Structures are given as C-alpha cells and as structure tokens.
Structure 1
Amino acid sequence: MPKTTAANPLDRRVQATAEKLRAALDRLTHGFDESSMIERQLTVAALAREARVGRNAIYANHRDILDELTRVRQQRRAPSRIAAITEKVAEQRIAVDIMQGQLRQLATENAGLMRRAIEAERRADRAEHRIAQLTRELDRHRRPSLLRSSAGEHGEGR
C-alpha cells in the first residue's frame, strides 16, 4: 500500500491559493487609508490581480472568499449611501426653507389682495345702493304729476 499524505497536491494548491487570496483581500481592504480605499475597486478581477491568481480559480474553488469580497463591498457602499442620503436631506432642507419663504411671501400677497377685494366689494355695494337710490328718485321725477292751478293765476275769476 502506498503511503498517503494528509493533503493531496490539489488540496495543497487550493489551500495556497486561498491564503494568497485572503492576503490580497486584506491588502485591498485594510492596507490603505480611507481615501485610497474608496478609489480602489473591489472586484474579482482586482482581487485576482492582487493575489496573482486566475479569476477562474476564485470562481471554481473559493466561494467563501467571493462571499467575503461581496460583504466588504457592501460595507464600503454603506458609508457612501449614508453620505448621499445626508447630502440629499441637506438639499431638501434648503428647498423646504426656500419654499417656506415663498409661502410666507405668497401669504402676504394673498392678504393684500384679499384686503383689496373686500374693499372693492364694499365700494360695489355702496355703488349699487346709490344706483338704487338714484333710480327711485328718477322714477319719482318721471311720474306724471297733476298741476294744480290757483284761480288767480290765469286771470279767470268768478
């Protein structure tokens, strides 16, 4: 019987590749400051280049490292999402402040227009009342009236 080793050559090769990939992933994620970390892309291709292994080896034998790469990518996206949301909230607050100022200005203009409309209605009511008064007066003057003559006026006497 041949002597067996603890790991066959394929297992040793897979283990060595896994160690290279973990070291490369660590360098890609932790070996840089925050600003350069944002600039570096965390892709399978970048990991393969950093570890100097083929991408196919990662896909074929190292799903756990792919999962770790995905987790790190999601963690990295979270701060940028928070920053984007914070920026959007700030923009919306500015827009709300502008709109509130416009609303106050419109309310002021509306109050002025309302005052003018009420005054115009009062004038119209007074004008209608005066027109009704003048119409009654005109009707009274247009009615025929009897002229009464006095006996001494026309020279007729009895």
Structure 2
Amino acid sequence: MRLRTPLTSMALAAALLGLSVSPSAAVAPSVKGPGTFVTNGDRVHISSTPPRTASAHAWWTHVAGPGTKARVTIWLQVKAAKKGSKWHSVAKNSKNLKSGNGGSARRVVARKKCANQSKRQWRTMIDVDLIGVADTPEKAYTKAVTVKCGA
C-alpha cells in the first residue's frame, strides 16, 4: 500500500517544472498535486476460472485532493526456484479506473497461465498515475507468496 502526500507531490511538480525546491519556494498556481490516495492490490492466487492461471488485482482509493480517474498498471512477477534469483515480470495490464475498493468494475487484473504446478514465489508491482495530475513515480509491491504455478 502506498500513500502520496501533498508535500511529495509539490516537490515532484516543482522538479517537473524546473523549479528549485526549498521551504519557501512557490509552486505555480496551475500545478495541482495529487493530494492523498492509496494504491492497493491483492496477493497472487490461482484463478477460480480455467485455465489454471496465477492471477492478481490492483486498484486505488481516493482520500483527498484532485484526481478522479487514474491509469492503474499491474505487473505480475515471479522468482525462479534457484536461490538468489531476481524478480521477473511475466504479465502486465493497465486500465483507466475511478477510485474504488477493488470490486470487479474498479480494478485491473494480471494473469499468467501456469506451465506446471511447481512452487514459485509470486508478487505484483502496482503503479497508479492520476490522469491530468502530477504525481510521484514510486510503485507499490504486494507481499510475496508461494503458489503452485510455474511460469
């Protein structure tokens, strides 16, 4: 889960406009920060509908400030069984969404068909970009889980 604050948003907006950032720096009145919102997603799981796939969902929830729609992008990531392996993105999906609580109409899904039932570590990386509003580039990661799904 990720929270963006007005201070972080103002610093980003100032950087994008080439302004210096200091406690007394003024940001152009036309620049709007994202206010506060929460990035969220569920843990990777096996989809209840065939074929057997690793599946996860992402959404965002508005708390305060501007921004009514966002481009939500989710990457499904897997780690090979070998010790010291790195995370690899195996599926990606994006969708423009209104704020919501993760219900089927207000979330984006990423899926990857399982090649076998080998145990693998899975997680998602999620990015929320408010449409028409400057925001910061950080991404949220769901907790890694072991799922019987080899990619």
TM-score in terms of structure 2 length: 0.17
Bigger proportion of residues as helix: 1
TM-score in terms of structure 1 length: 0.16
- Higher relative contact order (Cα pairs below 8 Å, separated by 6+ residues): 2
Pair member with larger Rg? 1
Bigger proportion of residues as strand: 2
